[in-house]
Amino acid sequence: MNLRKSAALGAVLVLALAACSSNDDSPSATGSSATKGEKVNLTYVNWDGGMDKVVDEWNKLNPDIQVKLSKPSGTGYTLYNKLITNNKAGTNPDITEVEYQALPALIANQVVVPIDDYVKGLDTKYDKASLSQVQFEGKTYGVPQNVCPMVFFYRKDVFDKLGLKAPTTWAEYATVAAAIHKADPKKYIGNFTAADPGWFAGLAQQAGANWWKADGDTWSVAINDEASKKVANYWDDLIKKGLVSPQPNWSAQWNTDMNNGTIVGWVGAQWGPNQLPSIAKDTAGKWAAAPLPAWTAGDTAVGIWGGETEAVTANSKHPAEAAKFVEWMNSSDAGMDSLIKNVQVFPASPQGQALPALKTPPPFMSTQPDYNTLMATAAKGVRTFDIWGPNANVTFDSYSNAFGAALQKKTALSGALDTMQEATISDMKKLGFQVAG
């Protein structure tokens, strides 16, 4: 009896192992290159809400090139580092979303491929600032999807009640912050977040910082430059005076504070209304957007926070078809129209910025009909870094640690910038990049 049992157990095991291994034949194994008339299946990974509807539209229009969307288990660098790891095993999806600041890292790790052979004429459709986010060393790695100028969101109802107006300069921001805090010591105009390196980078861009520069094959890094320190010192002052909250974004604490009116402003970016429903659902219709406060009155320069493109991976067996999808999504009227309606994207392409879909504001900002006009104006003043570094992931991780520690220990925020500079340069040198200085 025992023997029979163990034989049965063995059979089960063999079956289980067979079941495991049969999982391996992924759709990409069906054919190495697409011949005419053959159906191509592509896989696409993206975390944005509403993206499924955009993909559905493509699938309806292109029965021969079917795209399957999947959500990654983690967003941002969790996804990118998974892509870098999977690249070796050859298991990456055909297409992935990439935020602009992560693209150089994916290129340096050979995760994504140039699409110049498949997508033509981008130079005529986009301005230089947008193209500089996707073109490196004369090659194009994606079609720019959106531009995310930073703006200032505020609770119009609260500001009106206190007789306050949205600040137009950072000096005014400090004054308004004090007025709000004085009227109700529990209320804050906003928070300084150690959880969002992209947020601080955007503010530094506005102040004139240029964290990375490329000269030939040599990098120079200036994360702790004067402009960035000016931004750090400004917020340091507000935190020390207790006028802004030091709580990080995206925590339960911040969500609650944003929802119940403890925090009545948010230095955010164009995509804010897409996120606000899950942060502060009870406050729909109470927010308004205003231009980001400037350092000197009348200056229209703003930084960007976020923004992304879609890239074709080195693992893809159908790069031509994948590039076609990327081009449709980000530079055709139908694709951009769908992105605006379903994902509330503000397109990078001037042609897309003229689409009628932008005449209606995002649902969360229903009380501000000119929301997208404001974004278009802000987009004209966008000022970014020359280039994102090839290890922005290390810089960003270092930001969270160094600024988190500075807030915790109440030491000078500008010191955190020195830590970031050091961490970034030493990692670049270790990887073998040429660094000046």
Partner 1 sequence: MSGPRTATAASKSRSRGGLLPVALVTPAVVLLLLFTIAPAIYAIFLSFRRMKVGKGLLGGGKPTEVWAGISNYTSTLSDSEFWASLGRMLLIAAFGVPLTVILSTLFALCLDAKRARLVGFARLAIFLPYAVPGVVASLLWGFMYLPATSPIGGDVVNYFGTKGIFFSVANVAVWGVVGFNMVILYTAVRSLPKELFEAAELDGATEFQIAVRVKLPMIAPAVAMVALFSVIGSLQLFNEPTTLKPLANAISSTWVPLMRVYTDAFVNNSIYEGAATSFVLIAMTVAATVLVSAVGRRIARRSTR
Name the site residues for partner 1 (rule: CB under 8 A): 2-3, 6, 9-10, 13, 77-78, 81-82, 84-85, 104-105, 107-110, 136-137, 194-195, 214, 216-217, 219, 246-248, 250-253, 256-257, 260, 262, 390-391, 393-394, 397, 400-401, 403-405, 407-409, 427, 430-433
Tokens coding 233: 């010192």
Give min distance, CB of 303 to partner 1, in A. 23
Q: Which amino acid is at 427?
A: D
What CA–CA distance (Å, rounded) separates 223 from 402? 13
What CA–CA distance (Å, rounded) separates 323 from 114? 9
Our CA angle for 271, 274, 276, nearest 5°, is: 105
User: CB-wise, 206 or 395, nearer to partner 1?
Assistant: 395
User: CB-wise, 33 or 251, nearer to partner 1?
Assistant: 251
Q: What are phi and psi of 57, to 5 degrees?
A: -60, -45
Give min distance, CB of 312 to partner 1, in A. 16
Question: 187 with 262: CB under 8 angstroms?
Answer: yes
Give min distance, CB of 158 to partner 1, in A. 18
User: CB-wise, 301 or 405, nearer to partner 1?
Assistant: 405
DSSP per-residue codes, 156-171: HHHHHHTT----SBHH
User: CB-wise, 85 or 233, nearer to partner 1?
Assistant: 85
User: CB-wise, 136 or 346, nearer to partner 1?
Assistant: 136
Q: For residue 98, how many other CB atoms are within 10 A of its CB?
A: 27
Place of tokens 């992935």: 96
Question: 289 with 150: CB under 8 angstroms?
Answer: no
Give min distance, CB of 250 to partner 1, in A. 6
What CA–CA distance (Å, rounded) separates 195 from 250? 8
User: CB-wise, 212 or 328, nearer to partner 1?
Assistant: 212
Give min distance, CB of 28 to partner 1, in A. 22
What CA–CA distance (Å, rounded) separates 116 from 113? 9
Cα 24 vs. chain centroid, distance in angstroms?
32
What CA–CA distance (Å, rounded) separates 406 from 56? 46
User: CB-wise, 161 or 410, nearer to partner 1?
Assistant: 410
Give min distance, CB of 296 to partner 1, in A. 31
Q: Which of 266, 244, 262 is nearest to 253 (CA)?
A: 262
User: CB-wise, 256 or 332, nearer to partner 1?
Assistant: 256
DSSP per-residue codes, 286-297: SEEEEEPPBSST
User: CB-wise, 253 or 300, nearer to partner 1?
Assistant: 253
Give min distance, CB of 257 to partner 1, in A. 6
What CA–CA distance (Å, rounded) separates 328 from 311? 13
Give min distance, CB of 306 to partner 1, in A. 18
SS3 content of the chain, % helix, strand, coil (to 5): 50, 15, 35
Interior/surface letters 247-276, b for 16+ CB within 10 angstroms, e for the rest: bbbeeeebbebbeebbbbbbbbbbbbbbbb
Give min distance, CB of 299 to partner 1, in A. 31
Give min distance, CB of 86 to partner 1, in A. 12
What CA–CA distance (Å, rounded) separates 76 from 81? 9
Give min distance, CB of 50 to partner 1, in A. 24
Q: What are phi and psi of 385, to 5 degrees?
A: -70, 155
User: CB-wise, 122 or 194, nearer to partner 1?
Assistant: 194
DSSP E strands: which ranges in 141-254? 143-144, 150-155, 212-215, 218-221
User: CB-wise, 132 or 300, nearer to partner 1?
Assistant: 132
